[in-house]
Chain A
Amino acid sequence: MSSTRIYILLSTAVVLTVFGFLLFGNEKELDFSTQIKPILNKHCISCHGGVKKNGGFSVLFREEALAITESGHPAIIPGDPNNSELIKRLTESDPELRMPYDKEPLSEEEIDLLKTWIKQGANWGKHWAYEPVEEPKEVQEIFQAGISGNSGSQNPNPIDFYVEEKLEEFGLAFSPVENSNKLLRRVSLDITGLPPSDSLISLYENGKISYDEAVDYLLAQPTYGEKWASWWLDLARYADTKGYERDVSRTLWPFRDYVIKSFNKDKPFDQFTIEQLAGDLLPNPTEEQLTATAFHRNTMNNDEGGTQDEEFRVSAVLDRLNTTYEVWQSTTMACVQCHSHPYDPIRQEEFYESAAFFNNTRDEDTHDEEPRLRFYSVKEKTDIGKILNWVEEYKGEEAAKKRKDFLTFFEPKYEAHIATDFDKAELVDTKWLGIWSGGSAYLKNIDTQGSDQLLMNYRTGMDGSKITIQKDGPEGEILSQFTINKTKGEVIGAFPFKEIQGQNDLYISVFNPNAKPQQTTSIIVWFAFVPTLPGEDQNGYDSIQNSWQNILEFKGTKLPILIENPEYMKRETRVFERGNWLMLGEKVSPGVPKELNSWKSEWPKNRLGFAYWMVDQENPLTSRTLVNRVWDQLFGRGLVSTLEDMGTQSDPASHPELLDYLAWETMTSYDWSIKKLIKQIVTSKTYKQSSVVSPELFAKDPQNKWYARGPRVRLSAEQIRDQALASAELLSHKMYGPSVKPPQPEGIWQTVYNGESWKEAEGEDRYRRGVYTFIKRTSPYPSFITFDAGSREVCISRRIVTNTPLQALVTLNDPVYLEAASHLGKLMIDQNPNPSKAIAYGYEKLMLVPISEQKLKVLTSLYQESFKEFKNDSTAMNEFVLLKDMQITPELASMTVVANALMNLDEFLTKP
């Protein structure tokens, strides 16, 4: 059936329905979300809702739509379409009055629908994605009754039932199953990001293991976590640099290790969520749980001189909020920063109520990115144990707990950038406190918690600076006075401090007769108030004190994490008028949008409670979002194609019941296991279909929205690299650890005010999987961005796949791919001295199916042409083949050309 005919039939159906209403009265209630909201969104909302409320009329919320407008009357009177101004204005003949102003009028059908809707009471309804996911009943019933589509199959997969239902609706049918080896390559690339191993292929080809067993095997490989981590790291906007102008390196790789390990453990997605959003708020958080919170320390950090740390702290908080809603709720919050959502029922206050959950962490866009989790060695952990036991023995459990926190992530402390009222003092590079001789500054509202000791993080190139700290001001009581001398880099000094209670302003001044005018005496990074160790007169004190000093000087791996403010440091959250962080409005407390699931009283009103809210079974969006994104990873298209948005403006779900079925199963019978979800999908008939497309089928469904064929999608940037290295048997299987810098052309890094350089990795680190490649935000790995990977500055829900000549240049000319081709060429020639046979072997090694006669002919002739040239040009031959310490022959060089061709074939770059 042609699309035009479908359209005519559908239109007729609409008209008949409308007539039906008019003739027979309100037999069936109109559905607001699917029938009315789209009309309002399309024609009205750009002038009457969210940003603009022309004439005082808005159709965003029901109470707004029914409210009195500037004309003094409401525009919609429920039950009375004929007296509703809305209808009058839609049908007005004067073009100055007729709505939509200066645009095409609404169609009669649309106006009739609106009339009927007003007649029925102008009821509002929820958008489908905001309704809770309900237990699917249909499938069970259908299975009991037996269905035609799955007859003959012993374990019918419900996915196929839903897909087939739609196929029938559109006059389509499933394609046959894909060639079994191609299918193995497809599922292996999907699950592990790599081609299947030789041993798996042989077991599978010989029928020793079934397809389902192969899937289980692949899901159990550690390479599974590496593949799926790339997906999650896009959402987490993971990168190895801070972003913005200076874009210097940061240490966040332990978070990547956490993600890979979590996938491999098949950590339930609800737990995975809670740990990342609020691991620090769990009781006695483990190192792993604290590591997880680095998810939200992937926000950018601005080191540019002259920038206000508070501005970029706020910016990071809003990014956390927006990212959280995009990643877990497929909801775009960014517009709500400035005004109520133009399309979705989320109010501006609700944005700030959600922001309030994130507004109370210790991080403040400082240069050192504190707070950071210290990864101590076993020896250091033992020493810390001793220190904590000592403190507990002499000061009790509470003091030991505080000491433990301080040693784990060095909080609470005051960053020196909070200093104000500078007199002969400055914020050096707008980052650190620098006081000149005779100068001073204030630290306001400081709570020392009655500590008898000040820890100060500083560096100075000058001896003899006398620092005085007084209460309230220059006339105030002296709380601490000490002299600091030249340091080797940054140090943490410990100085006696008078015990005081409550919040106080501290006045800090410096005197140094040796300093020149306007010379900064030292650079101060932070202040912390940590009591001296107790039991000074006890046996063993010296050893404990010694360990404490050593731990303070810890130089190992430190990971930025989230740590909640203690009560006395809490910030309040206010609405930003028109989204401007300097224009503060009403104070708000933490809360969630009313349109979504309600808050349960047992949840704490903080990030942890927010995480519980998000993974609650009543939450309509988390499970749907997860299913939609996993589906997209496997099919190259989501069931809702707008992956980043499931709001009222999103693309309607192609298979809503299927989405809900999988969402329900994920929350219940799979117990949030992603592996179970993947297995359910990849064992479906839908997934296993051949991806051959006939012109007729392509015409009916160009985007493969209805799944009458298998997914045929170009591989991702990482997959293309990993596959090439794996096929050439070069790929390193080393897991975890800091990012690596495989070869890239010279002169790529030219960042301002940043002395770092791309130091090429040595040994096996050159051949690590793409997920471990160092990502510099302002200058990402060039071949990856060419293949559509992002620069990870913001959350990426969807990589748009493109097809460009620059991609061809990468796989044709990048030395990484030429080296892989050289190795593959060698493998081919070693396998069989006969060129044609070697080529056939190479092709089958890559594609897992025998080469066709025609393709073999083409490639053999490429070999022969190349051979003619290389035979007469040994210099060219030696330059071309990138193999070290090896005799290069014209045969090998020519086979390398063929290998280069193989690795550029569409079928190699594409998931079959």
Chain B
Amino acid sequence: MKQVEKLIQELNQQKLERQTRRHFLMDCVSKMGGLALAPLMFGCDLGGSKSGSSGLNLSERDLNPLAPLPPPFAGKAKSIIYLHMAGAPSQLELFDFKPELAKYHNQPCPESLLEGRKFAFIRGVPNLLGPQANFAQHGESGAWVSDFLPHFSKVVDEVAFLKAVHTDQFNHGPAQLFMQTGSPRLGRPSLGSWVTYGLGTENQNLPGFVVLTSGGKTPDAGKSVWGSGFLPSVYQGVQCRSKGDPVLYLKDPDGMSRDMKKNLVTAINDVNKEEFNAYGDPEILARINQYEMAYRMQIEVPEVMNINEEPEYIHELYGTKPGAESFANNCLLARKLVEKGVRFVQLYDWGWDTHGTDHDGSIDMGLRNKCREIDRPMSALLLDLKQRGLLEDTLVVWGGEFGRTPMQENREGKTQSFLGRDHHGDAFTMWMAGGGIKKGASYGITDDFGFSGIGEQVSVHDIHATILHLMGFDHEKFTYDFQGRPFRLTDVEGELIRKIVA
């Protein structure tokens, strides 16, 4: 209860702050004669709500492109936490239980499955590889989860599984881009950019779209997976780091006190106000606003990124260790960030590419270890969001960029010393929970080997359409004009997956 009170108090405080700031800026605007001004940089269609060209008041968004906007229709989720397992986890060891596959373990793969197919590394005829984990059904929903994820097994009733997701990309870089931008080629805005472009963000002292990485590497496709493509760069993801400055250049220079920084920013803005009086360019007002936000961000970002002050039971729950760069810490941070009003938190955890070329990349040992790193924290995240009443309007998405083959990899035709699976995009598992998701649902059926979807298949575009729907957008109407045509996250495809929407 206290938590809720605190949250409400904070929210009110934030609102007040926003209003005060707006007051100054609006004051400046009214000095200009209270004019009807056209938007400064936005001439684009936000899915129905046309911001037409005639007579729009200089809105908060003109001064701050991340100012919150209502979605075209009431969405069920207000924020998103997207957990991307970079490298692509094996669905066959985690969620897609295939007892038939076990029976054919080590048998040559039927030719019919290989005909006309291309794989990244498998050559010739590989052997089938039975599941390397033990499965059981859990919760009231009876969801199959393997013993690689004992904690997650306990929260399955919060989750809707998509078991027959497919992608046409089988290399990491292009597949990650496809999953995050709707196109395997570079140049498109990421999901997070679309959402922050459409909705802005609730807390102006924090970035609206935060990216957290773990596993020691950024995703294969590089920072383009959180790039803004042809959208203005203000909508790109901001990487918050656990080492060094949490946001680049956030820390005051050595030797400069907070007071002095305050004086500095005040002086800059005072001179800028003079300049505005002389030149009348509203861009100057926008800049004044940005400097104030930067100053406040310097306080709020380190606060939210600091997990030292969290109570012991929270550390216990997530398995967090302050100071480390870990998926667990990032899960806790994700909760803190959405609690503070961040619109989109994207986690990337690297190290899921289990080809069987070495111990870490083996499907029976390496994958089990990787699962240990995520099992407790991602389950904790759901529980923690739930106990704070945040799960209702926070959408949590989990998945990789594709799945893995039911066959043992035989890289370049060689026998391998560890068990591993090659890249495979025909059918893999993702799950969603929270904001607007039907609890305990399962959608998608795969064949006996888990090679292909045979019913209720969904594409990457369908997933995007569903996420946008939950945020309050019709994916067909949420467009941005570029190169002479309206672009969509879902290109010309995508269908809402109704069966997993509550």
Contacts and interface: CB of A to CB of B under 8 A. Distances in A.
A245 B293 CA distance: 35
Interface in B282-308: 282-284, 286-287, 290-291, 293-294, 297-298
A72 interface: no
Contacts of B37: 698-699, 702
Contact of A859 (B123, B267, B414): B267
A758 to B, nearest CB: 13
A734 to B, nearest CB: 26
A91 interface: no
A601 interface: no
Interface string B481-502: 0111100000010000000000
A904 B218 contact: no
Interface string A813-828: 1110010000000000
A692 interface: yes
B220 A245 contact: yes
B227 interface: yes
Interface stretch (B2-10, B250-258, B309-317, B366-374): B250-258
Contacts of A877: 255
Contacts of B217: 750-752
Contacts of B278: 692
B254 A904 contact: no
B354 to A, nearest CB: 14
A302 B175 CA distance: 14
A645 B483 contact: yes
Contacts of B245: 745
B423 interface: yes
Contact of A714 (B170, B216, B233, B283): B283
A772 B110 CA distance: 55
B120 to A, nearest CB: 3
A427 B412 contact: yes
Nearest to A790: B233
A712 interface: yes
B123 A426 contact: yes
Contacts of B250: 809, 813
A58 B64 CA distance: 43
Contacts of A813: 249-253
Contact of A814 (B123, B220, B249, B279): B249
B227 A897 contact: no
A518 B233 contact: no
Contacts of A714: 283
B35 A805 contact: no
Contacts of B271: 855, 858-859, 901, 905
Interface stretch (B73-81, B136-144, B236-244, B442-450): B236-244
A880 interface: yes
A800 B222 contact: no
A437 B105 CA distance: 30
Contacts of A875: 255
Contacts of B415: 518
A262 interface: no
B255 A746 contact: no
Contact of B291 (A315, A750, A808): A808
Q: Assign chain B's interface to a size class.
A: 35 or more
A716 B419 CA distance: 52
A862 interface: yes
Contact of B282 (A649, A698, A804): A698
Interface string B52-78: 001100000000011000000000000
A440 interface: no
B293 A805 contact: yes
B224 A800 contact: no
Interface string A865-878: 11001000101111
Given A793-B224, A880-B256, A692 B279 contact: yes
B413 A812 contact: no
Interface string A675-715: 00000000000000001111110110011000000001010
Given A307-B171, A793-B224, A877-B255, A782 B248 contact: yes
Interface in B146-167: none
B172 A904 contact: no
Given A699-B35, A745-B248, A803 B281 contact: no
Contacts of B484: 332, 343-344, 642, 644-645, 647-650
A38 interface: no
A488 to B, nearest CB: 25
Interface string B363-397: 00000000000000000000000000000000000
B322 interface: no
A148 interface: no
A862 B256 CA distance: 13
B100 interface: no
A904 B224 contact: no
Contact of B256 (A698, A855, A876, A909): A876
Contacts of A788: 232-233
B187 A794 contact: yes
B114 interface: no
A353 interface: no
Given A785-B233, A791-B227, A812 B249 contact: yes
A695 B35 contact: yes
A877 B256 CA distance: 8
Contacts of B485: 332, 335, 342-343, 649
Contacts of B252: 813
A854 B263 CA distance: 16
A439 to B, nearest CB: 10
B14 interface: no
Contacts of A4: 54
Contacts of B170: 306
A778 B218 contact: yes
A864 to B, nearest CB: 10
B36 A804 contact: no
B248 A809 contact: yes
A800 B41 contact: yes
Given A752-B350, A805-B290, A783 B244 contact: no
A783 B249 contact: yes
B260 A897 contact: yes
Contacts of B120: 305-307, 430
Interface string B255-280: 11101110111011011101100111
A422 B187 CA distance: 37
B213 interface: yes
A747 B240 CA distance: 12
B65 A803 contact: yes
B173 A905 contact: no
Nearest to B416: A518
B38 A51 contact: no
B483 A334 contact: yes
B1 to A, nearest CB: 35
A305 B259 contact: no
A306 B294 contact: no
Nearest to A342: B485
A645 B481 CA distance: 11
A198 interface: no
A901 B294 CA distance: 14
A861 B263 CA distance: 9
A699 B55 CA distance: 9
A777 interface: yes
Contact of A793 (B171, B186, B350): B186
A217 interface: no
B32 interface: yes
B48 to A, nearest CB: 13
Interface in B99-143: 118-121, 123
Given A791-B223, A810-B249, A906-B275, A3 B54 contact: yes
14 contacts: A343-B484, A344-B484, A698-B282, A699-B36, A714-B283, A750-B218, A778-B222, A803-B287, A805-B294, A805-B297, A858-B267, A869-B260, A878-B255, A905-B268
Given A302-B171, A786-B248, 9 more contacts: A304-B220, A332-B484, A335-B485, A342-B485, A692-B278, A747-B243, A778-B224, A793-B186, A800-B41
